[in-house]
Chain A
Amino acid sequence: MTNKIMKWVSWSVFLAFLAVYPKLFGIYYTNVFVTFAIFALYAVTLNLLLGYTGLLSFGHAMFFGAGGYGTALVLTHMKGVSLSMALMTGFLSAVGLALILCPIMVRVSGTAFAMLHLAFGQLMYVLSLKLRSITGGEDGIGGFPIPSFTIPGIVFVNMKAPENFYYFAIAVLGASIWMLWFFTKTPFGSIQVGVRDNAMRIDYLGFKVPQTKAVVYIVAGGFAGVAGSISAMFHNLVSADGALHILNSFVPVMMTMIGGIGSFFGPIWGAAIFQVIEELTSRYTQRVELVVGLILILVIMFTPMGFVGILRSIKQKWTTYKIRRKS
């Protein structure tokens, strides 16, 4: 009972904090937080493949990019598109891409999976550079109108104000992360983890392995598209280098590794740590990746379960300490 109350209290405190955050920290840090939240969702979708299904992707950026370009294109070329429609277009573009690729991708694993994604990711990158008439080449697509959030006659919120966009982005990204968390807790989620541990036995238990992987793949791709869509609207820009570049495929992998691969919340921690490092180091140097790379090496050498691994071992030491003091 007290546990339940504690849960409610901590959730309300957390939500209240999110609500007053823009007032407390100003526009700059509000935008930093939105960036963090975008990458948190993006990294969580990657971890759905990596941590939960055992599939390492080096081309996750193509889904992020599909979401971004989908949203940007529909906002540029169609009039009267609502905010939710723009978001939906981004989501569905990424889902579409995942649907096209999944017949191949669910039948490979390990290195082949990683390399095929590297290849397709680079293909998307080159396509976005070459198909200038559609994608705007290196310049990307920018300056498209950002629709307001409206419920006719009741609410009208202008999304051009950073604070308003913050609430919209946090709501969408938070809800997406919650949905993915719930996804991992369903019966399907437990079958998915079974595929990671022993796909052959899952087959022998009566589950279809390729179909299971396909669902995970489409969900992971689609929600990476949501992150990309929000990112495109946030920056009012989507470009080949910003969304589809290979570094953007490595970023969520690094976030997941640093945060902790074995837990749902690890990638979120990873995204936060990433954001903090970037904030701190970019004051002194342009070479943010150098610092991040160094930290990644240290994490892999000393704490393979990442930041969450450190938290867990501290918690364990604390409980054994308490038990010892009692006896």
Chain B
Amino acid sequence: MNILETKGLYHDFSKLQVLFDVNLQVKEGERHAVIGPNGAGKTTLFNVITGTYHPSRGQVFFKGKEVTGARPHEMTRLGMGRSFQITSTFGRLTAFQNIRLAILSKKGIRFQFFRKVDSMQAITEETDQVLKRINLDRERNIPASMLSYGKHRALEISLALATDPDLVMLDEPTAGMSKDETHYAVQLIRRLTEGKTLVIIEHDMDVVFSLADRITVLHYGQILATGSPFEIRENQAVKDAYLGALEV
């Protein structure tokens, strides 16, 4: 069953066409990578799916329901989590407070005015567990903006995962990371997304081929090919447009 599907998706920014007739299908449980050169429309595709933009044309289906143009908080409540290419955390809040917001959301605690958040033991414990799992327990009380780059990226990714979504959409999770950091991040993603569906935008082909079991190649806003890593590697059109250039 397709957990995520787009049908004939178009998007333009005042006459600049960014997406043309994108038909993306993501099956439940698969690890789907979206690759393509800079400016191919990968992040725009994410933005249209997750609700930052309303598509100009076409439809988005999530878990079999039409969600075209739904707002980000609606998508999150339906079970989608999303991380950003440019780190987007709560800079002045500590790592703990950052993750706690996601845990509060997961528990549906929103308009609660009659208890102190610090006295909610279950929330605190769960937040600390998440911090431990992502190796940030020692940085628990450090403001997010003061974290090292690698740790900050880890926090960014875990914010998307801590609401316990069924579908995780990661936008270049390893952007700007060193080789070691990338290696660590890939392990982290693999561990944290166990049993979930993953859609990931990635430039690093090592990461793509080690994480993904299905790949979609986006080129000038259109889907060039979709298939297994092997099929993509052997696809002549993809080689011509994208991969060939990388291997030189």
Would B82 and A204 count as touching, CB distance under 8 A? yes
* B112 / chain A contacts, CB cutoff of 8 Å: 186-188
**Interface-facing stretch out of B99-107, B128-136, B225-233:** B99-107
Any B CB within 8 A of the CB of A185? yes
Contact residue among A196, A204, A209, A215 (Cβ-Cβ distance under 8 Å from B76): A204
Say which size band chain A's interface belongs to: 20 to 34
**Chain B neighbourhood of A209, CB < 8 A:** 73
List of B residues within 8 angstroms of A185 by Cβ: 116-118
Tell me which of B55-63, B89-97, B172-180, B240-248 binds A: B89-97
Verify if B115 is at the interface (C-beta below 8 Å from A). Answer: yes
Residue contact B117 to A197, C-beta cutoff 8 Å? no
For residue A208, CB closer than 8 A to chain B, the reply is: yes
Chain B residues near A200 (CB, 8 Å)? 72, 88
Q: Contacting A205 at CB < 8 Å: which of B71, B97, B101?
A: B101
Which residues of B are found within 8 Å of A191, using beta-carbon distances?
Answer: 101, 104, 110
Indicate if B13 sits at the interface (CB-CB under 8 A): no
Those of A151-201 within 8 Å (CB) of chain B: 182-183, 185-191, 193-194, 196-198, 200-201
Min CB gap B52→A, angstroms: 8
Question: A118 at the A/B interface (Cβ < 8 Å)?
Answer: no
Query: What is the CA–CA distance of A24 and B153 in the complex, to the nearest angstrom?
Result: 58
> Is B115 a contact of A208 with CB atoms below 8 Å?
no
The distance from the CB of B162 to the nearest CB of chain A, in whole angstroms, is 9
CA gap between A322 and B91 in the complex, in Å: 30
Q: Are B73 and A190 in contact, CB atoms less than 8 angstroms apart?
A: no
CB distance from B246 to the nearest CB of A (A): 31
> In the assembled complex, which residues on chain B have CB atoms less than 8 Å from the CB atom of A206?
73, 76-77, 105, 163
- Pair B115/A201 contact, Cβ less than 8 Å: no
Interface residues of A in 125-162 (CB under 8 A from B): none
In the bound complex, how far is the Cα of B82 from the Cα of A200, in angstroms? 12
How far, in whole Å, are A215 and B109 apart by their CA atoms in the complex?
15
State the CA gap A200–B87 with chains docked (Å): 12
Q: Please judge, given known A-B contacts A189-B117, A203-B73, whether A194 and B101 are in contact too, CB under 8 Å.
A: yes
Residues on A with C-beta less than 8 A from B114 are 186
Of listed B100, B111, B118, residue having the most chain A CB within 10 A: B111
Contacts of A207 in B (CB 8 A): 73, 105, 110
Bound CA span A209–B105, Å? 13
Q: Which A residues lie within 8 Å of B9 (CB)? A: none
Q: Which residue of A lies closest to B100 (CB)?
A: A190
Chain A nearest CB, measured from B129 CB (Å): 18
**A202 an interface residue at 8 Å Cβ cutoff?**
yes
Does chain A have a CB within 8 A of B159?
Answer: yes
Chain B residue nearest to A202 in the complex (CB) = B101
B90 touches A188 (CB 8 A): no
A190 vs B99: C-alpha distance when bound (angstroms): 11
> Does the CB pair A197–B110 fall under 8 Å?
no
Please determine whether A190 and B117 come into contact, CB atoms closer than 8 angstroms: yes
Bound-complex Cα distance A188 to B91 (A) = 18
A24 CB to nearest B CB, Å:
34
Q: Which of B137-196 contact A (CB under 8 A)?
A: 159-160, 163
B105 pairs with A205, CB closer than 8 A:
yes
Alpha-carbon distance between A137 and B8 when the two chains are bound, in angstroms: 63
The smallest beta-carbon distance between A185 and chain B, in angstroms, is 5
Indicate if the CB atoms of B117 and A201 lie closer than 8 Å. no
> Which residues of chain A from 263 to 309 have any CB-CB distance to chain B below 8 Å in the complex?
none
Known: A206-B76, A207-B110. A201 touches B104 (CB 8 A): no
In the assembly, what is the distance between CA of A191 and CA of B160, in Å? Answer: 16
Chain B, residue nearest A262 (CB)? B92
Which residues from A are CB-within-8-Å of B91?
197-198
Question: For the complex, is B1 an interface residue (Cβ under 8 Å from A)?
Answer: no
**B122 contacts the other chain (Cβ, under 8 Å)?**
no
Closest chain A residue to B162, Cβ basis: A205
Distance between Cα atoms of A205 and B108 in the complex (Å): 11
Nearest Cβ on chain A to B160's Cβ, whole angstroms:
8
Q: Which partner residue on chain B sits nearest A209 by CB separation?
A: B73
CB contact between B120 and one of A187, A194, A196, A204 (< 8 Å): that residue? A187
Taking A186-B117, A190-B117, A206-B163 as contacts, is the C-beta distance between A201 and B90 under 8 angstroms? Answer: yes
Closest residue of chain A to B74, judged by CB? A206
Going nearest first, the 10 A-B pairs with the smallest beta carbon separation are A206-B76, A197-B90, A206-B105, A203-B72, A187-B117, A187-B112, A185-B116, A204-B72, A205-B105, A187-B109
Residues of chain B at the chain A interface (Cβ within 8 Å)? 50, 71-73, 76-77, 82, 88-93, 97, 100-102, 104-105, 109-118, 120, 123, 159-160, 163
Show the binding face of A for B, using Cβ within 8 Å: 182-183, 185-191, 193-194, 196-198, 200-209, 215
Residue contacts A-B, CB under 8 angstroms, 6 given: A188-B110, A190-B97, A190-B101, A197-B91, A205-B76, A205-B163
